[in-house]
Structure 1
């Protein structure tokens, strides 16, 4: 069943993960979250997967948590307190897992990306959106402030704009999402798959070891002071320079030839 909920296809170095609850707008049910986490963890050690694309089946990318399932949790004696704590903890684990994966993760977004769905976009390393997509952290409209989605969102876009979205429940279009930095680029609906794949293919063609080192360093240095960040990334560049394939890549550039990189 989990294979059906999150489908996976790895072709030419690119793994495409598809959230597959189209009738529920790919809402993050307990089962879907478990399947997504399992797929991501498996890809982390898959040498064939150099880049990951995350997308949704049907009309939407992801509509957030499954509210019907959440309401059913209230039947417990504690009115759902333990279930809700566990739910948000499990969701947060997925969002924190994405930046730690060795591969860049690109969200391919269409339809809507709301609440935890918007959080999922913000947690990915890059995002390509169809121009008809709407984004929102709109839980406040039903009395539930999007506090956990706020973590990823406020690390993607300016604070005042994030706070406005969180407190008004307003939706923004893809163009505005790009202006704020939530997505990298906006494309026509019919070009979404091809444009996302082109970006993935471009990254997949780079030296995988360098990309893995670079992604790890990117997130490590963000919260450091400026001196700490330079000290850390300097050491990372030494590590990178000592790779056999980096030596070959630089030599090939100087000699104006294609690098002969070892199979990774």
Structure 2
């Protein structure tokens, strides 16, 4: 087993996300490590082109460059703990990489202790303003990772592999910030979200967030939010016969006329022509 005397990861984010609405998230990868822990429910994950159903009690580990995509199926919901981290250095393993060959990790005998630890992180993730919050999250994530490494003998070990980057690629900090912003928007698109609200929740300035988001995704956070709302609205229009004003409210717009104008600008046709279309 690896020596962990200097094991001190930098925690980029740790938060829970409850999803009860069907939909598919963008296919993406990160320049840092990400762990997604299914606390309850179920959802499908497509990892490097292969789709697997993930249920409560399973954990996913995405090394840098591993492409993945989540789909919440109709009639299902899930609660997950997402943790982004970096500055991992293990002997014989590329920096910021853990030696698991598969993204779906088998926990074996460590499962009970691992999930007890994960639930403590989930609770602490809601205490942003509490004394010692960041230090406590850091310490508990280290504990979680140690339990994960104890499960390594139950898993296939990956061969060492290089992670290539170019100067044009966004930094790890930039990708982490945009990942957090994206998760926030996916969770709160039904609410009256402003750029100022989003930046405050992520503890950065609005200008910095807007600049970083555009550098990574090629669009502003509010443009992403509008496109997300339009996508959700289209799904509702096709699957229900709700009045346009209720569709507008369900995706975060209190003014149905403004919603209809945005929808037509986005798709070139009013929402009324989309309703009922298969």
TM-score by length of 1: 0.26
TM-score by length of 2: 0.25
Q: Which has the higher strand share?
A: 2
Q: Which has the higher helix share?
A: 1
